[in-house]
Amino acid sequence: MGERIIVGISDQKIASNPDVLVSYALGSCVGICIYDNVMRIAGLAHILLPDSANRQDNINVYKYADTAIERLIISMERKGCVRYRLTAKISGGANMFSSIGKSVGEKNIEAVKKELVRLRIRMIAEDTGGNFGRTLEFNSVSGMLLVKSIQRGNVII
């Protein structure tokens, strides 16, 4: 078993065989897991918000779907990954609080999917929505994503 590499909120990391990327407590946030099955390299971004257009901070590119995903892909390509081999799995985007209109989680899911299409990354699995938090464990050896939740138990996608 390799190292467990923690990915915090508004952060991203890359792991290679045999390491595992772990991101805790995704509520309305979305975890974007990108994998190159030939290189056995995994990348995980934990995004907080859908769009950097109305940002109020000095931009943390890992905070927003519209900037984090592209940066993660570029970082993976620098490690030898090839874009046409990359696949994505996403999880999170829960509606943690009652809201009028679309929740932040729903907006995050939409933004992530839009970016994956724009960047031509094929999404092969998702575990999104609901009203519960998730913890992610993304395995760099197999590309398996283990989604843990107290309310629902464990799911592998």
What fold is seen in the domain 4-156? 60s Ribosomal Protein L30; Chain: A; (3.30.1330)
Q: Is the dihedral of CA 47, 48, 52, 57 positive or negative?
A: negative
Residues composing the chain = 157
pLDDT tens track for 76-118: 999 999 999 999 999 999 998 776 778 899 999 999 999 999 9
**Cβ contact 108:61 at 8 Å:** no
**Helix (H, G, I), strand (E, B), or coil: what is residue 83?**
helix
In the chain, which ranges are E strands? Answer: 4-6, 11-16, 20-26, 30-36, 41-47, 86-92, 122-128, 134-139, 145-149, 153-156
29 is catalytic: yes
Spans of the chain below 70 pLDDT: 1, 55-57, 99
Q: Which of 15, 29, 48, 111 is catalytic?
A: 29
